[in-house]
């Protein structure tokens, strides 16, 4: 598909590939296959800038992230970490990760949904990224692990506290304290991913199909529905969350063009023609 008409310039990239495979959908491919798509300090900042751009660019509604080669992301660049562990002024003066966390995603709040298409190895920070993704589609060859305890470090990018909410205390303890690898089907059973594709099926294509289903809906409704779910994810109570959603978000879309168009299209029995969100 040809590139959409963008209002904001695409951020420069060195470690990722950007494409637009479907209407309103952004595809990000981690592209350090020889390093199993491990992310270094510059890569964190690059991805954080991309996700901020996704949220700001009106023509885009959903992001998809995957990896090139046999890994989704094997975690941090330990060679860089080792070389800077004791001597670099950078580690004392500049955070190695942006506010969005590992890959700009593991602690991201953001405005628009991101779907992870896990094509292979998903370890450490890579696993922390998908724990905080909005949806996860996995290849049958995908493997997941938090092996930090085997390296004398910890998963400090937000994954631990989020993991226990997703899979439960005992399963989270098993993953984080043993560092063992779990397969795609077990990850699906535990709730780490939405679906595992069939052998031979393209995991990125399945994720893009899911992204298109999202992009076909009102962009305002998607953003605000996601905000409501995030409140629950972050521990907000039902009554407080509902009140905040109505006061802080629903009033922004009530009477807006997309709400009017959706109701009008239903009455006229046609597909709605959404405009880009102004939220």
- 80, 97, 148, 227: the catalytic one is 148
How far is Cα 120 from Cα 169, in angstroms, rounded to an integer? 25
- 128, 133, 155, 159: the catalytic one is 128
Task: Answer yes or no: 125 catalytic.
Answer: yes
- 76, 133, 157, 215: the catalytic one is 76
How far is Cα 8 from Cα 56, in angstroms, rounded to an integer? 8
Question: Among residues 151, 145, 193, which one has the least CA distance to residue 172?
Answer: 145
How far is Cα 214 from Cα 212, in angstroms, rounded to an integer? 5
Only one residue has tokens 């407080």, namely 240
Task: Answer yes or no: 22 catalytic.
Answer: no
Beta strand 135-138 pairing with 195-196: parallel
What are the phi and psi torsion angles at 74 (to 5°)?
Answer: -90, 10
Q: Report in angstroms the alpha-carbon separations of 133 from 39, 118, 145.
A: 17, 11, 16
Instruction: Collapse the DSSP code of 217 into the 3-class scheme (helix H, G, I; strand E, B; otherwise coil) and give the result.
Output: coil
Please list, residue by residue across 70-95, b when 16 or more beta carbons sit within 10 angstroms of its beta carbon and e when fewer do: ebbbbbbbbebbeebeeeeeeeeeee
Task: Answer yes or no: 76 catalytic.
Answer: yes
Task: Answer yes or no: 198 catalytic.
Answer: no
- 101, 125, 126, 241: the catalytic one is 125
Question: Among residues 84, 69, 81, 83, which one has the least CA distance to residue 35?
Answer: 69
Which residues belong to the active site? 76, 125, 128, 148
């Amino acid at each position: 598909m040809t590139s959409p008409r963008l209002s904001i310039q695409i951020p420069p990239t060195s470690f990722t590939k950007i494409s637009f495979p479907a209407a309103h959908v952004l595809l990000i491919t981690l592209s350090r296959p020889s390093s199993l798509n491990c992310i270094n300090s510059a890569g964190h900042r690059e991805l954080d800038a991309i996700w901020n751009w996704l949220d700001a660019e009106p023509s885009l509604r959903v992001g998809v992230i995957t990896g090139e080669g046999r890994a989704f992301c094997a975690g941090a660049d330990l060679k860089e970490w080792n070389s800077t562990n004791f001597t670099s002024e950078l580690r004392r003066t500049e955070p190695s990760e942006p506010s969005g966390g590992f890959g700009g995603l593991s602690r991201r709040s953001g405005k628009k949904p991101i779907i992870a298409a896990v094509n292979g190895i998903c370890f450490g920070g890579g696993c922390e990224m998908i724990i905080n993704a909005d949806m996860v589609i996995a290849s049958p060859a995908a493997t997941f692990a938090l092996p930090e305890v085997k390296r004398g470090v910890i998963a400090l990018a937000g994954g631990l506290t989020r993991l226990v909410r997703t899979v439960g205390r005992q399963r989270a303890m098993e993953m984080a304290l043993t560092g063992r690898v779990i397969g795609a089907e077990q990850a699906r059973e535990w709730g780490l991913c939405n679906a595992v594709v069939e052998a031979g099926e393209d995991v990125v294509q399945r994720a893009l199909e899911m992204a298109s289903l999202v992009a076909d809906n009102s962009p305002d409704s998607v953003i605000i529905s996601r905000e409501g779910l995030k409140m629950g994810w972050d521990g907000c109570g039902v009554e407080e969350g509902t009140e905040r959603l109505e006061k802080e978000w629903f009033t922004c879309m009530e009477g807006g063009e997309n709400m009017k168009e959706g109701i009008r299209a239903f009455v006229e029995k046609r597909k709605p023609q959404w405009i880009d969100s102004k939220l």
